[in-house]
Structures are given as structure tokens and as C-alpha cells.
Amino acid sequence: MWDYTDKVMDHFSNPRNVGRIEDYDGIGEVGSLACGDALTLTFKLDADGRIADAKFQTFGCASAIASSSVLTEIIKGMTLEEAEKVSNQQIADKLGGLPEQKMHCSVMGQEALEAAIAYYRGKGKAAVHKHGKVVCTCFGVTDEEIRKVVQENSLTTVEQITNFCKAGGGCGGCKGRIAELIEEVVGENKQKVLSAKPVRPAKLTNIQKIQLVQQTINEQIRPALRADGGDIELIDIEGDKVIVALRGMCAQCKMAEFTMRDVVEAKLKEFVGDMLTVEEMKD
């Protein structure tokens, strides 16, 4: 039995917005019954161009139904520009998290939304076209889809890719190419982190400080730690003291002290302010 959150169980037991809008403005159909999950998402816009209604039909497990249900709640009231920024991580977060092996359900929701918006923008003519070259023939996943899922979720292993988009979960013949794609994206990310220029506001309110610390951890620190099998969690901020916990490989690493000083504290000073100090919370 999967360890689902109460929110997942609530959306699974009482799914919101089930069905299909017949005079839809946008429709996105992703997955296939042969692959075990399929989702059709339809939406209708109001006169101001906001999503007035959204409905879904899903064939799949509890997390596929919960992800689709919560997605319809997230996008109602949004403009298409706002809706196209919704990430699969946002869908999972809104459910209080998903088991990693089920993250592909949140990705399926995000892809259906993207396809529905593309349909609307193509005025109904644009068939949903996959971008890139198919890497996993068992599940019809392209290199562009794999790169996107690695990028948006900071993934580093083939197993994670399978959890997020199913690629590699069949015959396994595509695993070598998936590993190459991960290496390419991780390499590009490291390069971006190294060349990123800090943009620091002159004076920060407490709220701005917290947001900037979280943003720096997400964008500047976490990708570098994940590339080495580790991770970091922001625990608290007391004045100018940032309390964090190292996770994964970083937690057991003999070099943790250097990671804290030369990576975590250095990046926070660079992107947020020189006044910050960092303290590690041990479990």
C-alpha cells in the first residue's frame, strides 16, 4: 500500500470536476490505456480569458485521479499565461506530496494542461505534437520530455526518470540514452550555477530575506548538491542565522563542513547578503 497523504486520499475519494466539457475551448489528451494511465483535460474560458471551468477524465491509480482533480482546482480562475506556468511539482505540493514512484501522475497532469493550452492556441487544429526524438519506445517518451522533467525536478538518476515519466520502466533498452541526457542537463545546470550573477536588493524586509534565501537554495545550491546525490532543506531563519539540514549523500559526507561553508554559506552570502551565517541542524 502506498503512503498517500490525507489530501491525496480526499481527492481520490471525492474527485472534483470529473467529466468532460462538451463545448470546450481547450482539450489535452495524454497517456494511453496500454501504458496504464490516460487523462483527458478540458477547459472553458470566460469573456476575460480566464479558465472558468475545467474537467477531467482519468484512467489510472489513486494518485493519477488525485493529481488530475487537484489540477482542475489549481487552474480555475487563471489566465492561460498563468496556467502554463503550473509545474508538476506544484500539483504534487498541493496534494501534500506524492510517493516518488508516483510522480509521473503529476507530470501527466502538467502535460495534459500544456496540451490543452496548445490546442486552444492552435484554434483547435493543432494536434498535440510531441517535441523531440522518441527515446523510450515502450512508453513513447521523447528526449525533450526527459530533459524537461530532469530540469524542472532536479533529477539525477535513471530510476527517478522512470518514476517521473515512466521512460525506462519497460524493456530498459533506453536506459543508456536516459543516463546520457541526465548528464547533459546536469552539466548545463552546473555551468549555469557557476556563471550566474547575483542580483541582490539593497535592503531586504524579513519576508524578502526568507524568499531570497529559499530561492537561492532552490536555484543555486540544491542543483549542485543533487548532482552529487545530496540535498538540502531549509529549516528556519533566526535573524541573520539560516538553519539548514543536509540530506542524502551530503548528510553522511565527511566534507559536510566544507559544503556548508564553501557552498551553502558562500552562495547565500553572494546572493542574499554578507550578514548571513549558516548553521547545520543535525537529526
Residues carrying an active site annotation: 35, 105
Choices 18-26, 39-47, 148-156, 165-173 (CB under 6 A): range interacting with ligand FES: 165-173
As measured in angstroms, the least distance from the Cβ of 263 to ligand FES is: 35
Pair 212, 271: CB distance under 8 Å? yes
* Residue 136 beta carbon to ligand FES: minimum distance, rounded to whole angstroms: 3
Closest approach, Cβ 157 to ligand FES, in A, equals 15
Tell which one of 49, 122, 173, 229 touches ligand FES (CB under 6 A).
173
Is residue 243 a contact point for ligand FES (CB under 6 A)? no
The CB-based long-range contact list for 128-134 (8 Å cut-off, 24+ gap) reads 128/28, 128/29, 128/30
Q: Which helix (H) or strand (E) holds 35?
A: none
Nearest in space to 101 (alpha carbons), one of 163, 157, 46: 163
273 touching ligand FES, by CB under 6 A? no
Least distance from ligand FES to the Cβ atom of residue 112, Å: 21
- Would you say 269 and 260 are in contact if contact means Cβ atoms under 8 Å apart? no
> Does the footprint of ligand FES cover residue 167 (CB under 6 A)?
yes
Per rule CB under 6 A, count of chain residues that contact ligand FES: 11
221 near ligand FES, judged by CB under 6 A: no
Q: How far is CA 262 from CA 6, 12, 132, 218, 268, in A?
A: 40, 45, 38, 17, 10
Q: How far is the CB of 162 from ligand FES (least distance, A)?
A: 8
Pick from 31, 109, 168, 223 the residue near ligand FES by CB under 6 A: 168
Query: Is 185 in contact with 192 (CB distance < 8 Å)?
Result: no
d(Cα 239, Cα 62) in Å, to the nearest integer? 42
Angle formed at CA 282 by CA 213 and CA 211, multiple of 5 degrees: 10
CA angle 116, 120, 123 (to 5 degrees): 140
Q: Smaller CB distance to ligand FES: residue 161 or 278? A: 161
Give the integer Cα–Cα distance in Å for 87 and 114: 10
By CB under 6 A, tell whether 176 contacts ligand FES: no
Is 91 an interacting residue with respect to ligand FES (CB under 6 A)? Answer: no
Residue with Cβ nearer ligand FES (74 or 135): 135
Binding positions for ligand FES, 135-154, rule CB under 6 A: 136-138
179 binds ligand FES (CB under 6 A): no
Residue 44 half-sphere exposure toward CB, CA atoms < 13 A: 11
Cell of 104: 509521473
Q: Which residue number, 27 or 167, has a Cβ lying nearer to ligand FES?
A: 167
Among 9, 126, 171, 275, binds ligand FES (CB under 6 A): 171
Q: Indicate whether 36 belongs to the interface with ligand FES (CB under 6 A).
A: no
Q: Take residue 181 and report the three cell numbers written for it.
A: 541526457
* Residue among 277, 265, 270 at smallest CA distance from 197: 270
Which chain residues interact with ligand FES by CB under 6 A? 136-138, 167-174
